[in-house]
Chains A and B, each alone.
Chain A
Amino acid sequence: MGGFLVLVVLLVILGGGVVVLGLWLMLTYNGLVKLRNQVKNAWSQIDVQLKRRYDLIPNLIETVKGYASHERETLEQVVQARQRGIDASNVKEQQEAENMITGALRQLFALSEAYPDLKANQNFMQLQEELASTENKIGFARQYYNDTVQTFNTRQQQFPANMVAGMLGFEASDFFEIEEPEAREVPKVEF
């Protein structure tokens, strides 16, 4: 009789242990899924902002042409840089194109100083603000992406989640890094 009772108690403890382990596994898995999805979402946000810039540029070109059409060279630079950005097939090319776009836009806006009518144009001013802000947004989106990567990587590397992270299929993500050291020097954009 006593032996039977001991057996029951042992089984209850074992069962309880299994339940607790299962709960922990579920919570850990769900936590990692949430963080990984944040990383994916943050990455796509960068693309959203990049695309936004590409979409704004044609409007800018048209507006400038209306006032300063013979500044062909500067306008062409912007158009070409934009195209390179759209055509970029890897991150390195993307970043190169982006630096080009920033440089070309800067020249374009500097040029507007010589055309007071253009400068006073409502559309132009709005585009100026939108483009400056979009550059900041690209920067912040990358910053956020790196933050989410850090959070995710830390969680899947720390104990005790690291024991099961590999088994459950969670691998560390890569940080977004600026390829060229000059690009690091461009935090705030002012046109």
Chain B
Amino acid sequence: MAQFESLISANKRNSVFLVILFALFICALGAALGWALWGDPRAAIPSIAIALVIALVTGLSGYYAGPKAVLALSKARPIAKHDDPELHNVVEELTLASGLPMPRLYLIDTPAMNAFATGRDPEHAHIAVTRGLRERLSRDQLQGVLAHELSHVKNYDIRFMTLMAVLVGTVVMLAHIGTRAMWFGGGRRRRSSGEGGGAVMLVVLVVAIVLAIVAPILARLIQMAVSRQREFLADASAAHMTRYPEGLASALEVLEGDAHEMPQANGANAHLFIHEPRMARSGRRKSHGRWWSSHPPIAERVQRLRSLGSIGA
């Protein structure tokens, strides 16, 4: 039991650490841009504020309206208990194990094997499974997958990933504002202030340009790192919930072998699924480098789960 809890709390600590890193990163970017453009690092504060507000508005509207949009986009149909008693029972068993309220369940009519969870908190949670997944997994494997999804709900991952999206959006917006300002003669005040050390200012300008280009890329990388972190956390929480890591581990192995495409998956909602869905655009799985992937490699997830062994209550 103890190893689960230390796994889970280590994961949560890492997430907090990454968010702080991000916030510092935003401040550093703003300071560099402000200094380069207006000779004063603090001049970027209004820009940061604007960028943050825009990103917040986009993020929050996604947070509240998101679930319905994602479900509609995936053509997910609600399933009542009498439509599929076994599925409902499997989830109900998990709600008893975790103390969570019962989420709403949906079915996506595709042979591809996948599942996702959405919703802003445990009281407003929705979990969808594809027909392919529902039909091809055993009861234990199905329960493992659903425990993983329910863990995303339990750990408030939707909320957390929305926060990440807001932070990334802020960085992108800030870099955008910064490059526009530089392009349209932002160096005015710098020259007229007549400060000495023109060479220093040139270096600062170069650094600012590099940052403005690199920052959005870096932000995205951090976002993906956080997403992978939360996936490991969801796996650990799922194993703790079922006390049977092998269920999820064997399910992941089956999922890895699934060659079907998810017709409605795209970059925006990819991170909600249990494993990276194949995109319809390319015939084979989009070649995500390790660092760009929203999910850790399945082999590593399976290995971590199996190293937990069979846990007694």
Contact of B97 among A38, A143, A150 (CB under 8 A): A143
Among B117-151, those with CB < 8 Å from A are 140
Interface pick from A11-19, A20-28, A72-80, A133-141? A133-141
Among B274-313, those with CB < 8 Å from A are 313
Chain B residues with CB under 8 A of A188: 140
Chain B residues with CB under 8 A of A45: 96
Whether B93 lies near A137 (C-beta < 8 A) is yes
Whether A133 lies near B313 (C-beta < 8 A) is no
Whether A140 lies near B97 (C-beta < 8 A) is yes
Among B73-127, those with CB < 8 Å from A are 85-86, 89-90, 92-94, 96-99
Closest partner residue, chain A, to B86 (CB atom): A129
A161 to chain B, nearest CB (A): 18
> What is the CA–CA distance of A42 and B244 in the complex, to the nearest angstrom?
21
Whether B99 lies near A144 (C-beta < 8 A) is yes
In the complex, number of A-B residue pairs with CB atoms less than 8 Å apart = 39
A91 to chain B, nearest CB (A): 16
Check A44 for interface membership: any CB of B closer than 8 A. no
Whether A130 lies near B89 (C-beta < 8 A) is yes
> What is the CA–CA distance of A146 and B89 in the complex, to the nearest angstrom?
22
**In the complex with contacts A126-B85, A130-B85, A137-B92, A144-B97 CB distance below 8 A:** yes
> What is the CA–CA distance of A136 and B313 in the complex, to the nearest angstrom?
14
Closest partner residue, chain B, to A132 (CB atom): B89
Whether A144 lies near B96 (C-beta < 8 A) is yes
Check A49 for interface membership: any CB of B closer than 8 A. yes
B contact residues, range: 10 to 19
Whether B96 lies near A49 (C-beta < 8 A) is yes
Check B243 for interface membership: any CB of A closer than 8 A. yes
Chain A residues with CB under 8 A of B96: 45, 49, 137, 140-141, 144
> What is the CA–CA distance of A42 and B85 in the complex, to the nearest angstrom?
24
Check A148 for interface membership: any CB of B closer than 8 A. yes
Q: Mark A141-170, 1 if CB is under 8 A from B, else 0.
A: 111101010100000000000000000000
Q: Mark A176-191, 1 if CB is under 8 A from B, else 0.
A: 0000000000011000
Q: Mark B1-23, 1 if CB is under 8 A from A, else 0.
A: 10000000000000000000000
B62 to chain A, nearest CB (A): 32
Chain A residues with CB under 8 A of B86: 129, 133
Chain A residues with CB under 8 A of B98: 144
> What is the CA–CA distance of A144 and B154 in the complex, to the nearest angstrom?
15
Chain B residues with CB under 8 A of A143: 97, 243, 313
**In the complex with contacts A38-B99, A130-B85, A140-B93 CB distance below 8 A:** yes
> What is the CA–CA distance of A49 and B97 in the complex, to the nearest angstrom?
12
> What is the CA–CA distance of A45 and B313 in the complex, to the nearest angstrom?
18
Whether A133 lies near B93 (C-beta < 8 A) is yes
**In the complex with contacts A129-B86, A146-B313, A148-B99, A136-B140 CB distance below 8 A:** no
Q: Mark B32-63, 1 if CB is under 8 A from A, else 0.
A: 00000000000000000000000000000000
A128 to chain B, nearest CB (A): 11
Q: Mark A35-48, 1 if CB is under 8 A from B, else 0.
A: 00010001001000
Chain B residues with CB under 8 A of A130: 85, 89
Whether B92 lies near A133 (C-beta < 8 A) is yes
Among B234-274, those with CB < 8 Å from A are 243-244
Chain B residues with CB under 8 A of A187: 243-244
Closest partner residue, chain A, to B313 (CB atom): A143
Chain B residues with CB under 8 A of A142: 313
> What is the CA–CA distance of A144 and B313 in the complex, to the nearest angstrom?
10
Using CB atoms and an 8 Å cutoff, list the residues of chain A in contact with chain B: 38, 42, 45, 49, 126, 129-130, 133, 136-137, 140-144, 146, 148, 150, 187-188
* Interchain residue pairs with CB less than 8 A apart (5): A49-B96, A136-B93, A141-B96, A143-B97, A143-B243
Using CB atoms and an 8 Å cutoff, list the residues of chain B in contact with chain A: 1, 85-86, 89-90, 92-94, 96-99, 140, 243-244, 313
When A and B form their complex, which 4 residue pairs have the shortest distance between CB atoms, in order from nearest?
A: A133-B89, A140-B97, A140-B96, A136-B93
- What 5 new A-B contacts, CB under 8 Å, besides A133-B89, A140-B96? A126-B85, A129-B89, A130-B85, A130-B89, A140-B93
